[in-house]
Amino acid sequence: MSDATLEGPVLSADGKPLKQSLNQALRKQKIRALVLIAPLLVFVLVTFVAPIGSMLMRSVQNTAGTDYIPDLMPNVVAAIQAWDPSTGEAPPEEVYRAMAIDMASAFENKTHTQLGRRFNYEAPGISSLFRKSGRPASGWDIETDGPFKEKFLDIDSGWGNVEYWAAIKANSGYYTSSYFLAAFDAQRGVDGISMKEPDQRIYQKLMLRTLGLSLLITFCTLALGYPVAWLLADLPLRTSNLLLILVLLPFWTSLLVRTSAWKILLQEQGVINNFWIALGFTERLSLINNQLGVIIAMTHILLPFMILPLYSVMKTIPPSYLRAAKSLGASNWTAFWRVYFPQTTAGIGAGALLVFILAVGYFITPELVGGADGTFISNRIYFQFAVSGNWGLAAALGTLMLVVILILYYVYDKLVGVDNVKLG
């Protein structure tokens, strides 16, 4: 080495300092990697992330149909701010007059029933008022036909209900918290926010049921999957590869096929019940359209997701450890519990989290075999979205569920690493 290189920076072949050159190469590598990833990243952002994001926005947007409430009834929104619901008095004539104006234009644009539907989420019963009042209001002359309070009360005495007007006032902005309140089983009354009656707290109940059943299903898959994974890891490779097919075939078989198979097996006149009767029993078993059916079918469907990660962990544990423990005097149980089991916890964590995450979001199987008490929160979201059409509430419930799932996903990433997901 010459003196010069010792004093100055290390140079590379083209005369640039080596550090700079390495940095350049590194930057080049980074850019090349990003260029390769970019098309997919953009694709996923546009086709997957953006749709979910825009849907979640609906949980706070205060709209009826395509338009925001303040745009649909500007006069009412302006007039009602001065009114104080806590007085217990119905709003003054100005508010009714504003309602007459807005109602007439809403009827013209055929949005009055949509408005009714929007406020009906907050105050059940109000939807019929809007529907009844649209046509009469469109015939009133705003200058000469007052006072409008009486006219509205003539159509339906419900227009005197303070609760209804309070609901309109509370939801007169561009954004609303009412969908999240509903998702938490809370409500906003004349005197502030309160929880609903215990027997009306349906989402709490559904959320707990979803988590509880998912936990139970995760436990079932673990109880059934652990011995099988152990056996597979212990058998000679040739045999275990053959048996592994029995695990992988269900994994590759259509979810609908497996669900329909269970429907056929479990129903009252189905294969299992007929076999049961042939054994001499007289009572048929109720195996479907209840929680039991969901547990049986979903445990079956999710079992491979438990066995595969367990198997891949167990495969790496040398069988000599167990033998060593036993030769040192450990009983079978001690050898298993103190030596083997601790080494499999990583697999248990990976399998259990994956099964739990997937179970919480299940929709098809509970829908088809769950009956009334075996449905999950997903089924309710689908109902609010596709049947009832309360998109705001569906979005709020979806946001809550997504938060739960993302927390679990984060934990999974920390414990297992998302790049360690095994697929057969």
Partner 1 sequence: MKLKTTLMATGATLIAAAALAQTNMADSMTVVSWGGAYQNSQVKAYIEPYVANNPGLNVITDESSADAVTKLRAMSEAGNITWDIVDVVAADGLRLCDEGLAMEIDPDTMLADAPDGTPASEDFGNTLVGDCFIPQIVFSTTFGYRTDLLSEAPTTVCDVFDTEKFPGKRSLEKRPIGNLEWALICDGVGIDDVYETLETQEGVDRALAKLDTIKDDVIWWSAGAETPQLLADGEVVMGSTYNGRLFSAIVEQNQPIGMLWDWQMFDLDGWIIPAGLPEDRLARVLDFVKFATDTQRLADQAAYISYGPARASSAPLVGKHAELGVEMAPHMPTDPANAVNTFLFNFEWWASYRDDLDAQFQAWLLQ
Partner 2 sequence: MASKLPPYATTGQRIWFYSFRVLCGLVFFYLIFPILIIIPLSFNAENFFTFTPAMLRLDPEGYSLKHYEDFLGANGDYSWLQAFTNSLIIAPLATLLAVSLGTLAAIGLTQPHVPFRKQITALLISPMIVPLIITSAGMFFFYSRPFGISELGIQGTYAGVVLAHAALGIPFVIITVTATLSSFDTSLTRAAANMGADPLTTFFRVQMPLILPGVISGGLFAFITSFDEVVVVLLVGSAGQKTLPWQMFIGLREQISPTILAVATILVVISIALLTTVELLRRRSERLRGMSPG
Find the binder of partner 1 among 128, 239, 316, 420 (CB under 8 A).
Answer: 128
Contacting partner 1 within 243-272 (CB under 8 A)? 267-269
Q: Quick check: 175 binds partner 2 (CB under 8 A)?
A: no
* CB nearer to partner 1: pick between 121 and 356: 121
Q: Give min distance, CB of 210 to partner 2, in A.
A: 10
Going by C-beta distance under 8 Å and a sequence separation of 6 or more, which residues neighbour residue 70?
Answer: 62, 77, 172, 173, 174
Report DSSP letters for 344-380, one per residue: HHHHHHHHHHHHHHHHHT--HHHHHH-TTTT--HHHH
Choose one: 48-56, 117-125, 300-308, 346-354; the region binding partner 1 (CB under 8 A): 117-125
Strands 67-68 and 192-195: unpaired
Class of residue 383 by CB neighbours under 10 A (exposed 0-12, middle 13-18, buried 19+): middle
Class of residue 219 by CB neighbours under 10 A (exposed 0-12, middle 13-18, buried 19+): middle
Find the binder of partner 2 among 187, 267, 289, 344 (CB under 8 A).
Answer: 267
Q: Quick check: 388 binds partner 1 (CB under 8 A)?
A: yes
Choose one: 14-22, 110-118, 224-232, 396-404; the region binding partner 1 (CB under 8 A): 110-118
Going by C-beta distance under 8 Å and a sequence separation of 6 or more, which residues neighbour residue 218?
Answer: 302, 306, 352, 355, 356, 359
* CB nearer to partner 2: pick between 143 and 414: 414
Find the binder of partner 1 among 26, 33, 36, 202 (CB under 8 A).
Answer: 202
Contacting partner 2 within 29-48 (CB under 8 A)? 29-30, 32-37, 39-41, 43-44, 46-48
Q: Quick check: 250 binds partner 2 (CB under 8 A)?
A: yes
| DSSP letter, residue 73 | S
String marking each residue 274-303 x if it binds partner 2 according to CB under 8 A: x-------------------------x--x
String marking each residue 70-109 x if it binds partner 1 according to CB under 8 A: ---------------------------------------x
Compute the distance between CA of residue 218 and CA of residue 295 in angstroms, rounded to an integer. Answer: 10
**CB-facing half-sphere around the CA of 61: CA atoms within 13 A:** 18
* CB nearer to partner 2: pick between 165 and 203: 203
Q: Quick check: 146 binds partner 1 (CB under 8 A)?
A: no
Q: Hey, what amino acid is at 172?
A: S
Q: What is the dihedral of CA 266, 267, 269, 270, to 10 degrees?
A: -40
Q: Quick check: 52 binds partner 1 (CB under 8 A)?
A: no
* Residue 150 tokens, joined: 């009486």
Catalog residues that contact partner 1 under the rule CB under 8 A: 65-66, 109-114, 116-117, 120-121, 124-128, 131-132, 134, 199-200, 202, 205-206, 267-269, 289, 371-372, 380, 383, 386-389, 391
